[in-house]
């Protein structure tokens, strides 16, 4: 397949692009920084900074993963606008480009997040049809998904990738946690009772490949493990895997001082399950958090 990929140089995109190219697909990456792309991506990947530079101006599939990191900085008005433009505006720009192609893709997989559901109580289990809680995370994800769905047609299906906390080496949330935990300075966040819906990066990649190849599937899919855990359980599993104590609790007020409104993503959570993936027959390699950490830290 000829696959147009955005977000190729990110934590998930680099691993996915490597898998796709090794499987024999042609990967065409729309990137912002050509120097970074040449440094982190396989030389067999065709990179360009303008969509009109795409060789052949045609593709069989699009995987849209672009977006600025959401929890790295305070959600000021300008930061919110950047988060919006790097997701929603970029996706509409992608849709405009695809509308001009003589040969259009048959499938589009577009990024989203479980923030779509908003922060919810720990005892509420959420699948793809669950009610949402209004707020900035939901609005951002809903508008992002709406932009992606504008590309759906009778000949092109769209799958929305509602992604949880992706775990692996080399980046993402786990990379920020490892240093303090290895020093014995890790611990629960806030109450520790908030639910973390997570997924091993390899399972995320496998789910994307599954959605690419199952032509009957469309709509939203929760890309999370079948077994979400509390932050307390997550912390305990990581500390045990590293053979380190984890007694230094991070209070929510400290996170709010540092991140403001964005602290919601750390202090609160949601119990999300991958109902549609499981119903379609997808099988996870890493369903449990201790199993995931054993694999990740062993490979490290």
HSE at residue 278, side-chain half, CA atoms within 13 A, is: 12
pLDDT at 106: 97
H or E, element range at 28: strand 26-30
Whole-number Å distance between alpha carbons of 203 and 153: 28
Neighbours of 176 (CB within 10 A): 11
Q: What single-letter DSSP state applies at residue 153?
A: B
Cα dihedral 90, 95, 97, 100 in deg (nearest 10): -170
For residue 167, which of 287, 293, 278, 282 has the smallest C-alpha distance? 293
Instruction: Please tell me the predicted confidence (pLDDT) of residue 56.
Output: 83
Tokens representing 91? 């996706």
> Residue 300's pLDDT is what?
57
All domains in the chain, ordered by first residue = 60-299 (3.40.50.720)
Between CA 181 and CA 48 the distance in angstroms is: 39
- pTM score: 0.96
- Per-block average pLDDT, block size 10, for the chain (300 residues)? 96 97 97 95 96 89 96 94 97 96 93 97 97 97 98 97 96 91 93 97 98 98 98 96 92 92 95 98 98 87
In 10 A of CB 72, how many CB atoms? 10
């Amino acid at each position: 397949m000829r696959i147009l990929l955005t977000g190729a140089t990110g934590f998930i995109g680099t691993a996915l692009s490597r898998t796709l190219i090794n499987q024999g697909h042609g990967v065409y990456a729309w990137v912002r920084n050509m120097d970074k792309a040449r440094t982190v991506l396989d030389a067999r990947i065709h990179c360009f900074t303008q969509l009109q530079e795409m060789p052949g101006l045609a593709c069989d599939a699009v995987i849209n993963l672009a977006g600025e990191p959401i929890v790295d900085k305070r959600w000021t008005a300008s930061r919110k606008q950047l988060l919006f433009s790097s997701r929603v505006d970029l996706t509409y720009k992608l849709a405009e480009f695809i509308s001009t192609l003589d040969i259009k893709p048959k499938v589009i997989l577009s990024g989203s997040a479980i923030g779509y559901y908003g922060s919810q109580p720990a005892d509420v289990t959420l699948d793809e049809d669950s009610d949402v809680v209004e707020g900035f995370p939901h609005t951002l994800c809903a508008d992002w998904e709406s932009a992606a769905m504008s590309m759906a047609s009778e000949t092109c299906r769209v799958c929305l990738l509602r992604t949880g906390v992706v775990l692996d080496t080399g980046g993402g949330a786990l990379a920020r946690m490892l240093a303090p935990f290895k020093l014995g300075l890790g611990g629960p966040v806030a109450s520790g009772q908030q639910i973390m819906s997570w997924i091993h990066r390899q399972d995320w990649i496998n789910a994307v490949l599954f959605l690419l190849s199952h032509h009957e599937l469309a709509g939203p899919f929760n890309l999370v493990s079948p077994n979400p855990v509390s932050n307390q359980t997550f912390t305990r599993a990581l500390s045990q895997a590293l053979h380190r104590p984890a007694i230094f609790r991070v209070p929510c007020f400290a996170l709010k001082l540092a991140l403001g409104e964005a602290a919601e993503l750390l202090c609160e959570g949601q119990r999300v399950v991958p109902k549609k993936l499981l119903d379609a027959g997808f099988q996870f390699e890493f369903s449990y958090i201790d199993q995931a950490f054993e694999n990740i830290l062993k490979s490290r």
